[in-house]
Chain A
Amino acid sequence: NAGVTQTPKFQVLKTGQSMTLQCAQDMNHEYMSWYRQDPGMGLRLIHYSVGAGITDQGEVPNGYNVSRSTTEDFPLRLLSAAPSQTSVYFCASRTANYEQYFGPGTRLTVT
């Protein structure tokens, strides 16, 4: 199993640009989520999904969209990048017993 994979590993955007962060898992987990982590801080939940076709907002959803068309994939879209969205983004999937597995992260810089 590859676990949770994320692409790209690094990305630089200009203010106003849009992009999609990709996330995939091969563990057949129903629950997937996106977090951002700013320097010296804990993770903050952006959006989550409890299964294909079902998504909901987390703590900091503004400026981000998600969709879940399959169990495996959970992309995160930045609609119009802002410097405040400079962060490390982690995708995760979770078992029914609440064990959560994280991808390697995407380091995003918005200039």
Chain B
Amino acid sequence: GQSLEQPSEVTAVEGAIVQINCTYQTSGFYGLSWYQQHDGGAPTFLSYNGLDGLEETGRFSSFLSRSDSYGYLLLQELQMKDSASYFCAALYNNNDMRFGAGTRLTVKP
């Protein structure tokens, strides 16, 4: 199957930088997305990487390396409101999206 691996939990302090890694299966791979989900809420879109390299959107950046079947989400200048679950999601064959189990980020003062 097309499974994704990401850490289950990460803890960091306000103002710090945190990186959440994600590895995926390569067969049929099209691109990698990242989503944020607060408890009880719906996932919200953060980024999509269809090509290798870094995509930057404000305090959040996402990176993809197809040769390593690997991507990461980088969160800078952490704020308390960034405490949430973060999911990587791999798109296969343009239409089939598979999610990782999520990384729970706790930001401490």
Contact = CB atoms under 8 A, between A and B. Distances in A.
Given A97-B48, A98-B48, A58 B96 contact: yes
A48 B95 contact: yes
A43 B87 contact: yes
Contacts of A99: 45, 48
Looking at chain A's contact residues, the main secondary structure is strand
Interface string A47-70: 010100000101100000000000
A103 B42 CA distance: 7
Contacts of A33: 97
Contact of A104 (B4, B42, B45, B101): B42
Looking at chain B's contact residues, the main secondary structure is strand
Q: What band does the interface of chain A fall in when counting residues whose beta carbon is under 8 Å from B? A: 20 to 34
Interface string B14-45: 00000000000000000101010000011111
A105 B45 contact: no
Contacts of B97: 33, 45, 100
A98 B44 CA distance: 13
Give the interface centre of A43, A58, A102 by most chain B CB atoms within 10 Å.
A43
Contacts of A44: 99
10 contacts: A41-B102, A43-B87, A43-B89, A58-B96, A90-B43, A98-B31, A98-B91, A100-B35, A102-B43, A105-B42
Given A31-B95, A40-B101, A42-B89, 14 more contacts: A33-B97, A40-B102, A42-B99, A43-B43, A43-B89, A45-B98, A48-B96, A56-B95, A59-B96, A90-B42, A97-B48, A100-B35, A100-B45, A102-B44
